[in-house]
Amino acid sequence: MKTNKSSTPRFAICVDNSEYPASLELHKIYRVLIDESAEKEGDLRVIDESGEDYLFPATYFMLVELPRVIVQALNKSFARSDQHAS
């Protein structure tokens, strides 16, 4: 599996969780990791409710571009939650 991590964080909003209700919350913003191989297959690598990254159908999400200030705030928030999980 070829994973290419970009320095620019990507985010997506879940618009369908019908097959994964325990893993995805409808309308929630998720971090998306760059995975070119998965994207060619129609999937996105998303950090789900467990805090781990998994592949989900890309059609379950809408990629969004957020203002830099929001991305920075989200990254700080994720970093704090990642520290508490360790």
Q: Regarding predicted confidence, which is higher, 58 or 75? A: 58
| Range of 1-5, 62-66, 81-85 with top mean pLDDT | 62-66
Q: For residue 27, what pLDDT is reported? A: 97
**What span, in angstroms and rounded, lies between the C-alpha atoms of 85 and 42?**
30
Q: What is the DSSP letter of 51?
A: S
**What span, in angstroms and rounded, lies between the C-alpha atoms of 20 and 42?**
17
CA angle 27, 23, 70 (to 5 degrees): 45
Instruction: Tell me the domain boundaries of the chain.
Output: 10-85
- From the candidate CATH numbers 3.40.50, 1.10.150, 3.90.550, 2.30.30, the one assigned to the domain spanning 10-85: 2.30.30
**What span, in angstroms and rounded, lies between the C-alpha atoms of 6 and 24?**
23
Q: For residue 61, what pLDDT is reported? A: 97
Q: For residue 35, what pLDDT is reported? A: 94
Q: What is the pTM of this model?
A: 0.78
